[in-house]
Amino acid sequence: MSKTEPVKPAHFIRQIISKDLEAGKNEGRVATRFPPEPNGYLHVGHAKSICLNFSMAEEFGGTCNLRFDDTNPEKESQEYIEAIKRDVTWLGFQWNGEVRYASGYFDQLYQFAVELIKQDKAYVDESTPEQIRAMRGSLTEAGQNSPYRDRSVEENLQQFERMRAGEFADGAAVLRVKIDMASPNINMRDPVIYRVRRAHHHQTGDKWCIYPMYDYTHCISDALEEITHSLCTLEFEDHRPLYDWVLDQLDVPCHPQQIEFARLNLNYTVTSKRKLKQLVDEGHVSGWDDPRMPTIAGMRRRGYTPASIRNFCEMIGVTKSEGVVDVSMLEFAIRDDLDKNAPRAMCVMDPIKVVIENWNQSEEQALSIAAHPKDESLGVREIFFGKELYIDRSDFEEEPPKGFKRLIPGGEVRLRGAYVIRCDEVIKNEQGDLIELRCSYDDQTLGKNPEGRKVKGVIHWVSAAKALPVEVRLYDRLFNHESPDATKDGSSFLDHINPDSLTVKSQAYAEPSLANASADLPYQFEREGYFVLDAVDSSADKLVFNRTVTLRDTWAKVNK
């Protein structure tokens, strides 16, 4: 390891895999998988799982499969599949071989179910869903055997074939495995592994009217793909005995090791797919990729970078204990990345016109300014100084408060990368509203301080003649409650939507270098924050920029 390469934290999964390799387990192989359900867009919680599965395979010279857990076709779509593939690729990972689908194993899953019936370890149950739930018992009471539990193998084979042939109505019959109705783990009380459901499948069409359950499908899919380490979140810990039980009954290529880790919980954030879909369906946001959404697509549109998300996932670590991560850590990760890598530019959100009265040249003066103050490799950009400029309304005060270091009547301020100007006259309309400032510039102050006086303030500006009219969208946190979906007062997460999560500045002006802005290259708008060109709503006629994050974390101060 080089002296500059950071030491990776030795989290428990990294330790498990290292010990397995040292012991020669799995013939020295490491094979992981990322198995999303294609029933929505991936969110930042999935990013943790993506980074963990792919990075472990990458670190130990192994492979990571992308496999869609598509056993619930009514809630799935090709749109979600394509979005998930884009997200994984954008984060910088490449899956092993072709994309895989659980539905690609439906024939084998069916045959394995037949084998379980032949072993007298599975039976067709024609009880109603309500009866099955009642017979399962509770955490304190054992379950009761189904009246169908002792059917003969021959009858179960016949009934299961009838299920496949569509001779049962939806919900009229299920296939259950025969384990232990008195088990303290409710997941082991004869769980359902197949149900009747007439639904068109996005991959298999109308071939099947029965679909396997997740717990049954997942472990077999892992085994067929010869996965060595099946990494999943803590809610599946109680499902691990079933995972192991199913594989122990069948002749499969290998028996993967399921390892659970704590999922990512962020404050001020909702990551339930059902609730995210509700936000979209009810129009609280503009779509799955709304920049306020915690989806990877939304974060990308907002200006988050793959490096920032991967660094964030490494920062928060991998543990066995549930906890809540402060969203400011995520914001720190993107600030840290963009401070080092984002080119600078100037944009005036709330413009006031400034007329330079002593400017006598017929043309604008081109000035060269660094694209990044600490990275010369990013080169320079060209800005223009001339007769008419725009500065931000917040940078002028007619009656300044104490400590105000920007422009005031009769006072001076430096324009970033240009000259020192002095405000000589304030122009107002009939209603008394400020409409224009008349100023003069000191032509001896380009790149140097004025002689005999000290100018403290530096403000951003743009040339009125050369500026680009742009729309700027100031995004903030979507929720103003730190636990929007876990409140104790009975309120809905929708009650805590932040009314100020989006402010639109439709009359902004940006420096001309942004004419070539890309949706994949965030900028720092000097003194304002980090911004990126909106990939959806921008056009040649209308440039739209989204705020990724402010320059500093001001949320706690503002929302005390």
CA distance linking residue 36 with residue 473, whole number of Å:
32
Q: CA quadruple 396, 400, 403, 407: dihedral positive or negative?
A: positive
Which residues face 366 on adjacent strands?
384
Helix (H) or strand (E) holding 509, with range, is strand 502-510
Degrees to nearest 5, angle at CA 60 with 54 and 61? 85
Among candidate residues 25, 29, 37, 353, the one labeled active-site is 37
Residue type, 555: W
Tokens of 27: 């013939």
Within this chain, do residues 378 and 236 fall inside the same structural domain, yes or no? no
What average pLDDT does the chain have? Answer: 95
**273 flagged as catalytic:** yes
Residue pLDDT, tens place only, 397-431:
999 999 999 999 999 999 999 999 999 999 999 99
Domain assignment of residue 316, yes or no: no
pLDDT at position 560 over 60: no
Within this chain, do residues 361 and 255 fall inside the same structural domain, yes or no? no
Burial class (CB in 10 A: 0-12, 13-18, 19+), 326: middle
Dihedral-angle region of residue 417 (phi above 0 means left; psi in -120 to 50 means alpha; beta otherwise): left
Tokens of 356: 């330079």
Bridging pattern class, strands 351-356 and 434-442: parallel
CA distance linking residue 485 with residue 324, whole number of Å:
13
pLDDT at position 6 over 60: no
Distance of CA 557 to the CA centre of its chain: 25
Within this chain, do residues 254 and 360 fall inside the same structural domain, yes or no? no
pLDDT at position 1 over 80: no
Domain boundary among 450, 466, 482: 466
Domain assignment of residue 159, yes or no: yes
Q: What percent of the chain has pLDDT over 90?
A: 93
Q: Which of 267, 263, 264 is nearest to 234 (CA)?
A: 263
Domain assignment of residue 322, yes or no: no
**260 flagged as catalytic:** no
Domain assignment of residue 532, yes or no: no
pLDDT at position 555 over 70: no
Task: Tell me phi and psi for residue 311, to 5 degrees.
Answer: -65, -40
Mean pLDDT of 464-487: 94
Residue type, 539: S
Within this chain, do residues 197 and 100 fall inside the same structural domain, yes or no? yes
CB neighbourhood size of 6 (10 A) = 8
pLDDT at position 160 over 80: yes
Sheet strands (E) in 386-482:
388-392, 412-415, 420-428, 434-442, 458-459, 461-463, 468-475
Residue pLDDT, tens place only, 7-33:
566 789 999 999 999 999 999 999 999
CA distance linking residue 90 with residue 41, whole number of Å:
14
Confidence band for 488, pLDDT divided at 50, 70 and 90: confident
CA distance linking residue 25 with residue 20, whole number of Å:
5
Domain assignment of residue 59, yes or no: yes
Q: Which domain holds residue 161?
A: 19-261
CA distance linking residue 188 with residue 542, whole number of Å:
59
Domain boundary among 449, 466, 483: 466
Sheet strands (E) in 51-142:
63-68, 100-101, 122-125
Q: What's the pLDDT score for residue 7?
A: 53
Among candidate residues 25, 29, 263, 406, the one labeled active-site is 263
Q: How is residue 198 annotated by DSSP? A: -
Domain assignment of residue 271, yes or no: no
Domain assignment of residue 492, yes or no: no
Please, how many CA atoms are within 13 Å of residue 39, restricted to the half-sphere of its CB?
Answer: 15
List, as one string, the DSSP characters of 56-75.
HHHHTT-EEEEEE----GGG
CA distance linking residue 288 with residue 359, whole number of Å:
50
Tokens of 430: 């009939």
Residue pLDDT, tens place only, 326-347:
999 999 999 999 999 999 999 9
Mean pLDDT of 252-259: 97
Residue pLDDT, tens place only, 284-310:
999 999 999 999 999 999 999 999 999
Residue pLDDT, tens place only, 51-63:
999 999 999 999 9
Burial class (CB in 10 A: 0-12, 13-18, 19+), 115: middle
Among candidate residues 176, 178, 273, 301, the one labeled active-site is 273
Q: Which of 239, 195, 198, 236 is nearest to 213 (CA)?
A: 195
Sheet strands (E) in 357-407:
365-370, 380-385, 388-392
CA distance linking residue 472 with residue 479, whole number of Å:
21
Task: Tell me phi and psi for residue 524, to 5 degrees.
Answer: -95, 115
Domain assignment of residue 413, yes or no: yes
Within this chain, do residues 59 and 208 fall inside the same structural domain, yes or no? yes
Domain boundary among 204, 231, 261: 261
Tokens of 515: 């004419």
> 450: domain CATH number?
2.40.240.10
pLDDT at position 83 over 90: yes
Within this chain, do residues 386 and 251 fall inside the same structural domain, yes or no? no
Within this chain, do residues 210 and 67 fall inside the same structural domain, yes or no? yes
pLDDT at position 200 over 60: yes
Total count of domains within the chain:
2
Within this chain, do residues 251 and 356 fall inside the same structural domain, yes or no? no
Confidence band for 89, pLDDT divided at 50, 70 and 90: very high
Within this chain, do residues 29 and 178 fall inside the same structural domain, yes or no? yes
Distance of CA 256 to the CA centre of its chain: 28
Within this chain, do residues 231 and 360 fall inside the same structural domain, yes or no? no
Q: What's the pLDDT score for residue 559?
A: 56
> 144: domain CATH number?
3.40.50.620
**37 flagged as catalytic:** yes
CA dihedral 406, 411, 414, 418 (to 10 degrees): 140
Within this chain, do residues 72 and 203 fall inside the same structural domain, yes or no? yes
CA distance linking residue 322 with residue 346, whole number of Å:
43
Residue pLDDT, tens place only, 371-391:
999 999 999 999 999 999 999
Determine the 3-state secondary structure of 201 from DSSP: strand
Tokens of 253: 């290529």
Q: What's the pLDDT score for residue 557?
A: 53
